[in-house]
Amino acid sequence: VGYSRDVIIGLALIGFSALIYTMTLGLPDSSSGAGLSPASFPRALAFFIAALSLVLVAQGFWKRRTAKPPPFLGPLFPQTVLFFLVMVFYILMMPRIGYIASTLVFLGVSVGIMMPGRSARDLLGMTIFAAASTLMVYLIFGMFLKVPLIEGPVDKILRHGISIFSGAG
Amino acid sequence: MGELGMAMETLVNIKVLSFMFAGIIAGIMAGALPGLTATMSVALLVPFTYRIEPPLAGLMILLGVYIGSMHGGAISAILIRTPGTPAAAATCFDGYPLARSGKASLALNISAIASTIGGLFGTMVLWGVAAPIAGFALKFGPFEMFCLAIFGLSIIASVSEGSVLKGFIMGALGMLFAAAGRSTIFDIDRISFGIKDLPESGLRYIPLLIGVFAITEALSQLELRAAIERGGKKLRNVFPTRRQFKQILPALGVSSVLGTVIGAVPGAGGDIAGFVSYDQAKKISRRPEEFGKGSIEGVAAAECANNAITGGAMIPMLTLGIPGDSVTAILLGAMVILGLRPGPTLFQETDPEICRLVAGLFVGLFAANLLVFPLRILAAPFFSRIIAISRHLLWPLVVVFCIVGSYSMTNTMMGVHIMLAFGIFGYFMKKFGFPPGPLVLGVILGPIAESNLHRALRISGGDLLAIFSPLAAVLLAASVLSVLYPFIQQARKKKAN
């Protein structure tokens, strides 16, 4: 990693340490008895991080760069950003529309974003993959392992269907 | 012996065995896929395991994943010269040349035999030494426990890939994140960044780990245009002959011992064990010229050692409550969620349920190491095809697991938000060359260090010298040595060059 990057992250960490220190100012400074106070440990850590970051910054300034650092962004960075945004959207939508509908859309769209050269056959494959994976996770984790999943209208219908089916069985 | 019988009774239960079986299969698959490490696989599964009844079944799935992924790492190392896990790095040296010369199946089966022998040896050593070490550690007071935590933190110097300085910064950040929210020592809210209802530390740190390990890795892997080398050819099972088995025996003996010992040293992981054992096996071999060109002894040595470390790495984790690496740190957290308290008092528990769980853990580790062998042999052709799975299908599915798992820890979206925040944090820190392993150690050991120092100060009336013992001095000296060791090694290398 290039040393100029070390300077940037070092300065950011010093800023973060200062923020933590400021946050500890509102905490009680003394403890009952001779023990630590609630502020002591976070404050010591803030100082420690700041001191190490300062060394990192100093290294960044003084050490000579011996090799070209690897590129900061990968070749598929734009697609990854898009994938990340879809993921954030998925997280925001899940409490509103439930696990099944949100996961189905997320898997379909995200696989589509990352897949190189899409044909009609790929589209069908993507849909099958998204549906099968969503259902597999629902059945294994939601139904078998009783892991709580957020329920939406589709989840309720499916759960109702499964209970009728298992009741009939 | 009573607990052992109890554990056997609980273990010989179709549900417990099925979970272990499922864990092993999932572990082998994850280990075989480059990018999915043992640490990430265990972190991903923790949230799903603590609801499983009986709790031993939950523990078995995690042990299964751990053992399975250590085995699985060899598959891609042999077939496509890409170690599925860092521990399998030394396996590439001879595994891949063997595969290139049409002996892929032989290499895979030798790795399965060697891994099983190494795993069983490490487990037996764990059985033998765990109780005496824990008995000794019972004498530790709060100050010694604080020093032990410092020693645990000092191994950051060894687990930091790239920069020791950055490793220590990550460790300190981990401690800071663990201190945020409601403090159990002071019963007060600290540095919570204005977030209300931050879940308690134990529930919060699994989403944190999922974010740092899985989301970070997903984003980093998706960003790369990796050359896909398909290894999905059909394999015909070829087993070593009696002569070949005799040939690998010395390598197995040396590597079992070395792997277990190296595993027990906090900070020295499977990759180190693999390389050291490979080197020693070459030194004692009658055919050292074959090493690097397709030696079956080379494959056996590397694989035996990197599986023997599983038992060794459990020694400090179970007896002292100090995780030796990232994966045992996550296992330690999972055990706490399941009701166990790894550390000196683990063997003093009187609650029958806990006793059953502890005994089950030991027997289960042995059983998992046994069960993985037929699975590896019978399903070798299937596992060899796993590595051809496309990344664009794999990583979105991993993200779904991350979100479902993080949600299930708290039953609120807070867990998912914590996971997302730490995923972004881990991704950027990785870009700046910060290793994720030390963060986990900080998260686990930070609260131990703070609470024990607080207690030690209160007991001593603020004068730590009054309770300073030779044991504390030894632990602190070991910590200093542990921090200095990588620098000494670096200086030696420079001098040698």
What's the pLDDT score for residue B421? Answer: 93
Query: How much is the average pLDDT of B179-184?
Result: 82
User: Strands, DSSP E only, in chain A?
Assistant: none
Q: Inter-chain contact A34–B462, Cβ cutoff 8 Å? A: yes
Q: Are B281 and B303 in contact (CB under 8 A)?
A: no
- Surface of A (27-86) touching B: CB under 8 A: 27-28, 31, 33-39, 41-42, 45-46, 48-49, 52-53, 55-56, 59, 72-77, 79-80, 83-84
Q: Is the pLDDT of residue B332 over 90?
A: no
Residue A116 gets the label, from left (phi > 0), alpha (psi -120 to 50) or beta, of: beta
Residues in chain B: 497
Give the C-alpha separation, B455 to B438, whole Å. Answer: 25
- Contact of A4 with chain B, judged by CB distance below 8 Å, is answered with no
Q: Is the pLDDT of residue B196 over 80?
A: no
Give the C-alpha separation, B189 to B291, whole Å. Answer: 58
Q: Is the pLDDT of residue A53 over 70?
A: yes
Q: Is the pLDDT of residue B162 over 80?
A: no
Quote the minimal CA–CA distance from A30 to chain B in Å. 11
Q: Is the pLDDT of residue A105 over 50?
A: yes
Q: Is the pLDDT of residue B238 over 80?
A: no
Residue B200 gets the label, from left (phi > 0), alpha (psi -120 to 50) or beta, of: beta
What's the pLDDT score for residue A91? Answer: 95
What's the pLDDT score for residue B295? Answer: 92
Q: Is the pLDDT of residue B228 over 70?
A: no
What's the pLDDT score for residue A169? Answer: 46
Give the C-alpha separation, B274 to B262, whole Å. Answer: 10
Quote the minimal CA–CA distance from B17 to chain A in Å. 15
Nearest residue of A to residue B415, measured between CA atoms: A91
What's the pLDDT score for residue B388? Answer: 67
Q: Inter-chain contact A56–B401, Cβ cutoff 8 Å? A: no
Contacts of B442 in chain A (CB under 8 A): none
Q: Is the pLDDT of residue B409 over 50?
A: yes
> Amino acid identity of B361?
L
Range picked from A79-88, A157-166, B148-157, B202-211 for highest mean pLDDT: A79-88
Q: Is the pLDDT of residue A66 over 70?
A: no
User: How many alpha carbons lie under 13 Å from residue B438 in its C-beta half-sphere?
Assistant: 28
Q: Is the pLDDT of residue A1 over 60?
A: no
Q: Are B301 and B277 in contact (CB under 8 A)?
A: yes
What's the pLDDT score for residue B226? Answer: 59
- Contact of A115 with chain B, judged by CB distance below 8 Å, is answered with yes
- Cβ-Cβ contacts under 8 Å for B408 (sequence gap 6 or more): A141, A147, A148, B47, B48, B51, B415
Q: Are B360 and B59 in contact (CB under 8 A)?
A: yes
Range picked from A91-100, B145-154, B339-348, B351-360 for highest mean pLDDT: A91-100
What's the pLDDT score for residue B199? Answer: 64
Report the residue from B48, B222, B453 with minimal CB separation from A141. B48
Global pTM value: 0.80
Contacts of A141 in chain B (CB under 8 A): 48, 404, 408
Any idea which of B124-138, B217-231, B277-291 has the lowest mean pLDDT? B217-231
Quote the minimal CA–CA distance from B26 to chain A in Å. 13
**In 3D, which of B245, B306, B249, B242 has the Cα closest to residue B281?**
B249
Report the residue from B176, B188, B391 with minimal CB separation from A20. B176
- Contact of B182 with chain A, judged by CB distance below 8 Å, is answered with no
Q: Is the pLDDT of residue B489 over 70?
A: yes
Q: Is the pLDDT of residue B214 over 90?
A: no
Mean pLDDT of chain A: 85
- The pLDDT tens digits of the residues spanning B344-363 come to 888 877 788 788 888 888 88
Q: Residue A31: pLDDT band by 50, 70, 90 thresholds?
A: low
Q: Is the pLDDT of residue B462 over 60?
A: yes
- The pLDDT tens digits of the residues spanning A122-162 come to 788 888 989 999 998 888 888 877 778 888 888 888 777 87
Give the C-alpha separation, A107 to A129, whole Å. Answer: 8
- Contact of B286 with chain A, judged by CB distance below 8 Å, is answered with no
Q: Is the pLDDT of residue B49 over 70?
A: yes
Query: How much is the average pLDDT of A7-23?
Result: 94
Q: Are B331 and B209 in contact (CB under 8 A)?
A: no
Quote the minimal CA–CA distance from B180 to chain A in Å. 8
Mean pLDDT of chain B: 83
Contacts of B177 in chain A (CB under 8 A): none
What's the pLDDT score for residue B447? Answer: 87
Contacts of A36 in chain B (CB under 8 A): 185, 450, 453-454, 457
Q: Residue B229: pLDDT band by 50, 70, 90 thresholds?
A: very low
Q: Inter-chain contact A110–B420, Cβ cutoff 8 Å? A: no
Q: Residue B4: pLDDT band by 50, 70, 90 thresholds?
A: low
Quote the minimal CA–CA distance from A156 to chain B in Å. 17
Contacts of B219 in chain A (CB under 8 A): 80, 83-84
